Copies of this chain bind each other. A is one copy, B any other.
Amino acid sequence: MKTFSEDVLTQVAAYFQVLAEPMRLKILNVLRSGDRTVGQVVEILEGNQANVSKHLRILLDAGIVSRRTEGTSAIYAITDPVIFDLCDIVCDRLAARIEAQNMIRESLTRR
């Protein structure tokens, strides 16, 4: 049975923290279909420029996206698509849970 040391758990928690913001997941979802400039992400998500920029910084620091510049533009790209595997796993769990709750609800309302 593998177990984790304390500081590894702290780092893992920090990583999950990065993924624990809807806005950041939205940004990753946009980048999933291809590299984008900050302005493009702002436009697609109808978001605030400063806010998007800040979230991209956090994703960059976490090593989840990369940044390159072209003229005055900053182009961000997913560096590690494994994020989407994580999301898929969580989605499966959520779906299973919602499904289970619906079963319970049905059995309660059955007449």
A residues neighboring B (CB under 8 Å): 1-4, 6, 8-17, 19-22, 24-26, 29, 32-33, 63, 80, 82, 84-91, 93-94, 97
Contacts and interface: CB of A to CB of B under 8 A. Distances in A.
A54 to B, nearest CB: 16
A21 to B, nearest CB: 6
A1 B82 contact: no
- Identical chains bound together, number: 2
A92 B60 CA distance: 18
A93 B19 CA distance: 14
Contacts of A90: 12, 15-16, 86
Contact of A1 (B3, B8, B17, B33): B33
